[in-house]
Amino acid sequence: MSDFLKVFKDKNVASLSLAFVTGLAAWQLLSDFVAGIVLPLVASIFDLASLAQKTSDVGEARLYWGTVVNSAITFLVVAVVVYYVARALGYIKSKK
């Protein structure tokens, strides 16, 4: 048991845990931003009530392409934010 607690007292594990929790919180914030602001703006540009409700019928199958577009937009926004945060951190680190 003491070895188990020793691992968690290690600075690297604590930093990794903090980064993971912060990343989850940032993901939730960005997802809510996209769902609450970006997607309604995109839907209003294309004169749609909700992009997620858009479907296409192919034979007897129904394709929910609107949800795929929503997920793609969410991914792109999160990827852009992560990219610029990583660049900013790299810039700050290079200045030290």
**CA 57 to chain centroid:** 29
Task: Give pLDDT, residue 60.
Answer: 92
Tens digits of residue pLDDT in 2-18: 666 666 666 677 677 77
Tens digits of residue pLDDT in 30-72: 888 888 888 888 888 877 777 777 888 999 999 988 888 888 8
Tens digits of residue pLDDT in 18-30: 788 888 888 888 8
Q: Which domains, from first to last, does the chain contain?
A: 2-95 (1.10.1200.120)
* 3-state secondary structure (DSSP) of residue 63: strand
> What's phi and psi for 57, nearest 5 deg?
-100, 130
